[in-house]
Structure 1
Amino acid sequence: MPSPLYARLQQTAERLISNFGQIGTIERITPPDPVTGGDPVETSYTAKLVPMTYDQRYINGTVITTADRQIYISSVGLAIVPHVGDVVTAGGVDYHVIAADPNNYDGVTNVVFIVQGRISS
């Protein structure tokens, strides 16, 4: 059963991201079927998000670089859960998802998605 606390937190995150964020996309490439073959299928999902620079104390040059962004993605109305391998486009810049955190504390409600994005080259 969903917790009312997490539903309120989800609404707050949605409101803040809507007010201060932007519209971006999440692209997921589904590999071809191993039996029947075919071409990979690229699907694009519209998302409300906020890309933010990591605080200097977290940047170590290997796990988190100076070009990485911490991207907060609203879970409200998003058809997928972002995961490693997706590409997030924010402000015309493509970021490969290096790490993803669904912020799902009760196992039911995704409050907000926080991903580590690395500029794709």
Structure 2
Amino acid sequence: MTFYSEMQAMAAELIEEFGQAGVVRRLEPPDPVYGGDPVVTSYPATLVPMAYEARYIDGSVILTGDMQIYISSVGLAIEPTVGDVVTANGKDYAIVAGDRNKYDGIAPVVFIVQGRMAA
């Protein structure tokens, strides 16, 4: 087991203990050849939503109401990215920024995303 795999396991354990069940939803575009409607795919996730501290809210990059959401990478079939929607605390948050935390380029330790209330 590499150092980053151990960190991934530790992060997953902490998020499991202190977090909650949530969902990451991704809108898959229609087939480029056959067309059709976009398809929403839901991926169950374990996550910890936290409000940003006031000192980080600048009114342009981070707005009042934005959440910093830590998502366990263990067992998650996708890498959350801008455009996905995370359900946490019974509310939907659109991902506007994120960090995969792939320090070794292979194993994501934890996904940390900035969520903004989805319209």
Give the alignment partner of residue 23 of structure 1, picking from 8, 21, 24.
21
* Runs of 4+ with deviation above 4 angstroms: none
Number of residue pairs matched by the alignment: 119
* 2:114 corresponds to: 116
CA RMSD in angstroms comes to 0.9
2:7 corresponding residue in structure 1: 9
Q: Corresponding residue for 2:39?
A: 41
TM-score (ref. length: structure 1): 0.95
CA distance in 1, matches of 2:106, 2:32: 32
Measured in 2, the distance between the counterparts of 1:35 and 1:76 equals: 34
Instruction: State the 1:4 CA deviation.
Output: 1.3
- Unmatched segments (≥5 aa) in structure 1: none
Return the TM-score normalized by structure 2: 0.96
Question: Where in structure 2 are there 5+ consecutive unaligned residues?
Answer: none
- C-alpha separation in 2, matches of 1:95 and 1:41: 18
Residue aligning to 1:95? 93
Distance 2:65 2:87 in 1: 14
